[in-house]
Amino acid sequence: MIWNSNLFDSFTVQVNSFAISMKFTSKLDNKSFLLSYIYFPAHSAEKMAFITWLMNFDTSSFDEWILAGDFNLIRIVENRNKPGGDHSKMQMFNNLISDLDLLEIPFSGRNYTWSKI
């Protein structure tokens, strides 16, 4: 992760094979948030371990939590760049988002972060 140390103080909350989670505190207004940069496992055997970790991650001491990164999952078939898709994994991902009470911030003008539009 990269940040402007003139604007934010930070410390590492947790590092594991799924994510780096850091607390950032603004030097301007002293507000803080937790940022977790996710790398969701591509192999099915590890996906449930990730889901379990994320569902049990304690964010109770943070008012604001931002999740970003590579989730290796899609929410709807239309987001897939080729035909097909595993509907059970899509449902699992949507359930996770719902259970954690997360809000998706949509991209503007492109479908994927790696897009070369």
Give per-residue pLDDT as tens, 36-51. Answer: 998 877 777 788 888 8
For residue 90, give every residue at least 6 positions away whose Cβ sits within 8 Å of its Cβ, in sequence order, or none: 73, 74, 75, 76, 77
In the prediction, which pLDDT does 116 show?
A: 41
18 in the Ramachandran plot: left (φ > 0), alpha (ψ -120 to 50) or beta? alpha
- Does pLDDT of 90 surpass 70? yes
Q: How confident is the model at residue 24 (pLDDT cuts 50, 70, 90)?
A: very high
Q: Are strands 32-39 and 19-26 parallel, antiparallel or unpaired?
A: antiparallel
Instruction: For the beta carbon of residue 11, count every other beta carbon within 10 angstroms.
Output: 8
| pTM (two decimals) | 0.75
Q: What is the CA radius of gyration of the chain?
A: 16
